[in-house]
Amino acid sequence: MTKDQNQQYSADSIQALEGMEHVRKRPSMYIGDVGLRGLHHLVYEVVDNSIDEAMAGHCDQISVIINENDSISVEDNGRGIPVGMHKKEGVSALEVVMTKIGAGGKFDKDSYKVSGGLHGVGVSVVNALSDHLTAVVHRDGKVWQQEYEKGKTLYPVKEVGKTDKTGTIVTFKPDLSIFKDVEKYSYETLANRMRELSYLNKGIKISLTDKRKKVEGDFLNEEFYSEEGLKEFIKFLDENREPLIPEVIAIEGEKNNIPVEVAMIYNSSFNENIHSYVNNINTHEGGTHLSGFRRGLTATLKKYAESSGLLDKVKVEISGDDFREGLTAIISVKVAEPQFEGQTKTKLGNKEVTSAVSQAVSEMLENYLEEHPAEAKIIVDKVVLAAQARHAARKAREMVQRKTVMGGGGLPGKLSDCSEQDPALCEIYLVEGDSAGGTAKQGRDRNFQAILPLRGKILNVEKAMQHKVFENQEIINIYTALGVTVGTEEDSKALNLEKLRYHKIVIMCDADVDGSHISTLILTFFFRYMRELVENGHVYIATPPLYLVKRGSKKVYAWNDEDRDKLVNDFGTGASVQRYKGLGEMNAIQLWDTTMNPESRTFRQVSIENAGEADRVFSMLMGEDVPPRREFIEKNATYANIDA
Ligand code: 0RA
């Protein structure tokens, strides 16, 4: 190494070190948060690298293992990360990838990197946030290895054996001082993501193994593999719905150098269920690819319906929403330099993508409609029905609208409002039944807590047409109390969040089967009609205690059977247990102490970890009575825990 190169190397390595330290100081900037979500994100980040290798055509197997010690291993059968000297950096390419923040695979110009986690930050960030990381590379007949601690290289790459395979194995143990809940890796969460990745990248086998758990002698393990990709993804998502046409409509191709994949089907439900992805990332907030899809869909169906005479006797005007009722679709694009915008940085901004997707969708649909006239008629009939129902719903919508925005006169009579004016400080409790509502009203802090009692079971929106939803009194009450508008005719789910009157919306129901059913009905409504509220973290579930354990004047609450038993044991003879069957059995002070007092309560914030999975659960629990639904409900008779 010349003196110049030497200086260059040390300068760069100092820079690398600073990068690492920055990641450790501000982890959330790189991975979103340091809770469970961030923890799982570390796994996705490493898996993404292997997915990239697969998409470049060099790898078809990835295995992810949760080890007994809560470390994670990700193994692939790709070419193996190069271990030769990186000319510019003066260390091995492996070391550059592992220690240089933002290096990614950029040194390999031929394989343009399309994958990448939510922030596309690269495996070096995982390294920085790990107590220990080992990289093992099988390449050129040799096994190479390098280890790191908190992102610092422990030794130069060394040869540790011979091999006839190629591939990369990364094993990392997240830093416990940064991730407090390392032991809480969720198999389900990882499984949902691996399943999603296998649908988005057909032909790759992705296996997941949990060595912390044994099922009948074997470790918990699943293999995800999809031969048909998005087509199968659609079938999976719509398993609990009745299809209107026999086959999924799908295309796969490139438009203006942008790889576009789309798959869609119509079902008998009234919901629009569209999921969009950019480089395997779920773009919850949509963006240019979604606009392109909508544009292509609307234009093509409209043109076909008009020119085929199917609309001749139809009196109502057809709007954008109508084309998407009962539609389940997935749009997946690969964009070399994606611009992510929006509140959660999950909205695609690249302008050129709109026309690429719109053209691809138009071509696909035109062909399909020409070749399948019977199915085309079914689709157009469905659209016309949606338009007619929307006209019926318009009156209902206008009624609600008048009450929410224009009239000003109309907070629901049942609402006991709070006195605080700043929505950020206000909470509203949606309470099951008038009697629990009464207790909550007495127990609350009226400064910032409002109570809206709901009568019995609210409408199951999963099975109802839109105008029924907007005619439902309890739902009207929710809209008017919250102060948000009922969307527009073009987009019935667009909310007006600036008008939101409470930043915490708390579902408070009995801790029994009926109560959990009612919570689920309310959640279904929020998920289908006010998803933005959920996505922005405004929706919570209150958790009233299940038991009161008493001995003499000593009284302690318990939220589960384990705590109850422990208390009974601690209290000794003379202890008695009261089971709370409903909120109504508690007095106002008890309800405040256990469930409403910010100092002592535990809320569960509702979040959508995986939109496809959430959709499946809601359609399963609340949708049509198709066989898999019955089976699911029978198997999960006490399914009360929708943390979807
Ligand atoms: C760049 C170049 C080459 C391999 C990789 C990246 C690579 C990276 C990762 C990360 C996880 N698994 C991976 N597998 C491969 C190889 C270039 C060549 O062999 O010519």
- Residue range 393-430, pLDDT digits in tens: 777 777 776 665 544 557 888 999 999 999 999 999 99
| Average pLDDT of the residues in 79-96 | 91
* Ligand 1 binding pocket, CB closer than 6 Å: 49-50, 53, 76, 78-82, 105, 108, 168
Please give the Cα distance from 508 to 585 (Å, whole number).
14
- Residue range 562-599, pLDDT digits in tens: 999 999 999 988 899 998 878 888 899 999 999 999 99
Instruction: Indicate if the alpha-carbon torsion angle 100, 105, 107, 113 is positive or negative.
Output: negative
List active site positions: 432, 510, 512, 514
Of the candidate ranges 5-19, 40-54, 58-72, 520-534, the one whose mean pLDDT is the lowest: 5-19
pTM: 0.82
Contact 449, 505 (CB under 8 A): no
Between 540 and 121, the higher pLDDT residue: 540
405: DSSP letter: I
pLDDT recorded at residue 105: 44
Of the candidate ranges 4-8, 243-247, 266-270, 608-612, the one whose mean pLDDT is the lowest: 4-8
Confidence of residue 635 (pLDDT cuts 50, 70, 90): low
pLDDT recorded at residue 618: 84
CA 154 / ligand 1 centre spacing (Å): 22
Query: CA of 442: how far to CAs of 453, 550, 586, in Å?
Result: 13, 24, 12
CA 75 / ligand 1 centre spacing (Å): 13
State what percent of residues in the chain have pLDDT above 90. 63
| Average pLDDT of the residues in 260-275 | 95
Confidence of residue 490 (pLDDT cuts 50, 70, 90): low
Residue 113, pLDDT above cutoff 50: no
| Average pLDDT of the residues in 10-28 | 75
Ligand 1 atom with least separation from CA of 46: 11
pLDDT recorded at residue 484: 86
pLDDT recorded at residue 517: 86
| Average pLDDT of the residues in 50-72 | 95
CATH 3.20.20.70 fits 404-544+586-636, yes or no: no
Please give the Cα distance from 338 to 315 (Å, whole number).
43
**In 3-state terms, what secondary structure has residue 181?**
coil
How many CA within 13 A on the CB side of residue 537? 4
Tell me the longest C-alpha to C-alpha distance in the chain: 84
Please give the Cα distance from 563 to 567 (Å, whole number).
6
Residue 11, pLDDT above cutoff 70: no
Please give the Cα distance from 157 to 83 (Å, whole number).
7
| Average pLDDT of the residues in 126-143 | 97
CA 80 / ligand 1 centre spacing (Å): 5
Domain 230-384, what fold?
Ribosomal Protein S5; domain 2 (3.30.230)
pLDDT recorded at residue 315: 85
Residue 441, pLDDT above cutoff 90: yes
CATH 3.30.565.10 fits 3-224, yes or no: yes
Quick one: which H or E segment has residue 431? strand 427-432
Q: What is the mean pLDDT of the chain?
A: 88
- Residue range 283-327, pLDDT digits in tens: 999 999 999 999 999 999 999 999 988 888 888 889 888 999 999
Quick one: which H or E segment has residue 169? strand 167-174
Residue of 45, 46, 73, 81 to mutate, ligand 1, most atoms within 8 A of C-beta: 81
